[in-house]
Amino acid sequence: MSKLKLFCFPFAGGSASYFSSWQKLFDDSIEVHSIELKGRGRRVNETHYTDFDDLVEDVFERIRLKIGASDYALFGHSMGALISFRLYHKIVENELPLPNHLFLSGKAAPQIFREDVKIYHKLDDETFKKEIIELGGTSKVLFENKDLHNLFLPILKNDFRICEENLFDASAKPIDKDITIFVGREDDILSEQVIGWEEQTLRRCNIHVFNGGHFFINNNLDQITQIIKQSLQSKT
């Protein structure tokens, strides 16, 4: 019996290495595939994405040959959740087998627009770095080391830019699979933006709220992976 593949997509500035410890948290029935994006990790020398469509096309090409042989699911945190959402629709367009489940973490429903939303990529570098550190998940060391700073800052700013310039396609049909939403209680996401995910699926929308801010995932990993495991086991 083939293992169910769990494709994992990182937050802005994140790399595949973030998920390096995940496999040991799952049993042998789930195989973690952490997807490396351009400009980081083993793809550090590749040029940055021009826009979010470019990112989705790249990710789609990297997984398309892996999704026909066995069941699979998608997980993403923050930018990774948007990747998972957009990738699902790309898979639908190409008439390929659909994922069993989508796990979307730390991201507001895409159809709900906030006029007070902060546009990070337009901030000057110093303000941008301060705001990113306050979000959590990014060590000051990355900005204090000159070499790391020069490598990491352009990647991070470009990730924010393509996310913030991404437009919601109101014509896209809702997801025809169950989805699970993870959110931090202290994150800057309104309750209506969380509940709004219910409009994006024809099936069940499970919402789990954890203590913490935008990177609540770091302190609740055992519980989150347990929920993922139980959700996927119920479908096999």
Q: Which amino acid is at 10?
A: P
Could you list the active site residues? Answer: 78
Residue 118, Cβ neighbours under 10 Å: how many? Answer: 10
Contacts of 137 (CB under 8 A, 6+ apart): 11, 214, 215, 218
Question: Sign (positive/negative) of CA torsion 190, 91, 204, 172?
Answer: positive
Calculate helix-pair angle for 125-135, 146-164, nearest 10 degrees.
80
Q: How many other C-beta atoms are found inside a 10 Å radius of the C-beta of residue 151?
A: 15
**Rounded distance, CA 79 to CA 9, Å?**
8
Residue 227 burial class via C-beta count within 10 angstroms: exposed 0-12, middle 13-18, buried 19 and up: middle
Nearest to 84 by CA among 63, 115, 68, 69: 63
